[in-house]
Amino acid sequence: MRRRVGLVWLILLLAVGSVMAEVVAIQAGRLIDGSGAPPLRDAVLLIEGGIIRAVGRDVKIPAEARIIDLSRHTVLPGFIDAHTHLTGRIIGEGENWQDAAVRDLPQEDAIRGVRNAWLTLQAGFTTVRNVGSNDFSDVALRNMIRAGVVPGPRMLVAGHSLGITGGHCDTNGYVPGLFEPSILRGVVNGADEIRAAIRAQVKYGADLIKTCATGGVLSEGDAVGVQQYTLEELRALVDEAHLRERKVAAHAHGNEGIKAALRAGVDSIEHGSILDDEAIDLFLQRGVYLVPTMMAFEAVERQAADGTLTGLRQEKALFIGPKSRDSFRRAVAAGVNIALGSDAGVFAHGTQGHEFTLMVENGLEPMKAIMAGTSVAAALLGLSDEVGRLAPGLAADVVAVSGDPLEDISVLERVEFVMQSGRVLRSGGNPVADGRFRASDGSLVRVPGL
């Protein structure tokens, strides 16, 4: 009897192993691998166990392979958004994120994040860098995605953003004593507090550190372009983050704050709205990435024009939008590293493909725009050995669209097929399995809001 039970278990284990190592062959009418190489026509992408094994025109398809016919589509790597806010409310649509920080439980933010993560995945974004949340709700979402409890993009998260008292990362506009953020929440001044805050973010799960080097558009009481941390504070911040093996993303609109962040050694500048020649030279000398968030500027300008934003926030939106586009065009012309980041959360999630369109409309070549949202973003995130290209050994994160994005970049806004680590999550322009997802324990769960 014991021998029979052992044999049954062996058969089951072999069966599970064969499922896990399923061989899939994608037939691609046009394949853009994300590296910048010319497209391949009539190519095959061979996948085994969720990993790409071979790519090319001469790849032989094994007899046991399951074939996915995308011969009338353009096949690309899964997209990467390097600037999202998946947890919490849509902060630009009449919502004040500072009020939400007082009203909303972190559990509510995380649950909202489940839906936002699904929408992001359905738009073809299989990896994101989440750059700021309240009370580590992004850490919770990331952990549940990694555990297979809910579907969503691969996530790197920042936890709380770090900034000065009264700055863009603070909650301004309340009477004294009502809501006073602590070191844990990232409102810190001086090198010692900054180092303590970074250690706390890392302790509770941050993959990177986000800081506010200048004022912002949607915060109350601070000028959008004014430098906030001093150069000495920024250097302490970067030193501590890098000591903890965490990259630094610096929110920065104004020219002087951008240059201070670049001199301090940050890894990316978020927004980069006002750039002079010296700032661009610093980008090039130090190999820093610009994450332009063009959709955010488009969104806040629209909200300012229709009266959704009022007062100081309206003034800031109308002031900074045109400057951001001019600076982006100058950065592109100079050859600055551009990584796609949308700032989803300022506008509706699942629409980030429009960032490709805006970058091309403002001077980035279509192939370089695709690279910005694949291989270049992967390099910024430190994930080049995992995602960002269709190459052997990398995760089988694959999207497909009708049409040729090199001729019409806007087709990337209409993703028809999504695969993440070999699992098909969208096909024929529709979510797979009627919005259900098989969790790691084998149970089927319905994604909220679908």
What's the whole-number mean pLDDT along residues 336-350? 97
In this predicted structure, what is the pLDDT of residue 220? 65
176 has pLDDT over 80: no
Percentage of the chain modeled with pLDDT above 90 = 72
Question: Which residues lie across from 209 on neighbouring strands?
Answer: 248
Q: CB neighbours (10 Å) of residue 181? A: 16
pLDDT computed for residue 96 by the predictor: 58
What would the two tokens of residue 262 be? 């670049």
Domain annotation for the chain: domains and CATH numbers: 19-77+390-446 (2.30.40.10), 79-381 (3.20.20.140)
Q: Where are the alpha helices (DSSP H) in 226-352?
A: 231-243, 255-264, 277-286, 294-305, 311-334
DSSP string computed for 378-432: HHHHT-TTTSSS--TTSB--EEEESS-TTT-GGGGGS--EEEETTEEEEETTEEG
- Segment 303-320 shows an average pLDDT of 82
Structure-token match 């372009």, residue found: 225
pTM: 0.90
For residue 48, which phi and psi values (nearest 5 degrees)? -140, 125
Judge whether 141 and 113 are in contact, CB under 8 Å.
yes
